[in-house]
Amino acid sequence: MELLQEVKQAVIADIEEVRQTRVKENKPFVSGDIEKIITHYADKFNIDSRIIFEIIRQESGFDPNATGRLTKYGTAKGLMQLMDMNSQPHGIDPYNPEENVQVGTALFAKLLNKYQDIELALAAYNAGEGAVDKYGGVPPYKETQNYVKKITERLSDENQ
């Protein structure tokens, strides 16, 4: 019984060490499979994978089963929190990480191509193209402004 306690304490100590390292690095744990999917589709659509990583971090915290609240536009689902209007035309399962990241990255690439500006593309991903077009920039929505700010700050922190 004493040996079992020692093993248990050693395992707990190891887990805590890994957790503390992640906290210090301020990076969530991401499974290797999801990381490979992000890299693959970021490369395919010629997007810096760090941007997709940060969108997913902000949207779902890397939870492939994340489901947003019901809005008049539908429900956001999966890693990149795709709205039904974005996932249904492609016939994908929004909770399938690969399909979600493929469609979400393609959508972000389209927005980046349209706006030629990362902040505007992020704002459109969060609030919709209509809102960005209506306001001629990042809409005055607190949620969208915070979304753009958090992601761009994390990206600039990574560059330092």
Write down the pLDDT at residue 23: 41
Are 46 and 12 within one domain?
no
Which residue in 24, 36, 86 sits closest to 59, CA to CA?
A: 86
**Is 104 within 8 Å of 80 (Cβ atoms)?**
yes
Are 18 and 69 within one domain?
no
Q: Which amino acid is at 23?
A: V
Is 0.85 surpassed by the pTM of this model? no
**Which band of pLDDT confidence, cut at 50, 70 and 90, is reported for residue 2?**
confident
Beta bridge mates, 67: 77
* Strand, helix or coil for residue 103: helix
Q: Which of 2, 17, 35, 59 is catalytic?
A: 59
Rounded distance between C-alpha atoms, residue 13 and residue 83, angstroms: 41
**Is 62 within 8 Å of 56 (Cβ atoms)?**
yes
Mean pLDDT of all residues in the chain?
88
**Is 78 within 8 Å of 84 (Cβ atoms)?**
no
Are 48 and 14 within one domain?
no
Q: Is 6 a catalytic residue?
A: no
Are 14 and 37 within one domain?
no
**Which band of pLDDT confidence, cut at 50, 70 and 90, is reported for residue 31?**
confident
Are 25 and 36 within one domain?
no
pLDDT digits (tens, 9 = 90+) for 62-105: 999 999 989 888 899 999 999 999 999 999 999 999 999 999 99
Phi, psi of 56 (to 5 degrees): -65, -40
Are 25 and 59 within one domain?
no
Among 12-26, 30-44, 58-72, 132-146, which is the least confidently predicted range?
12-26
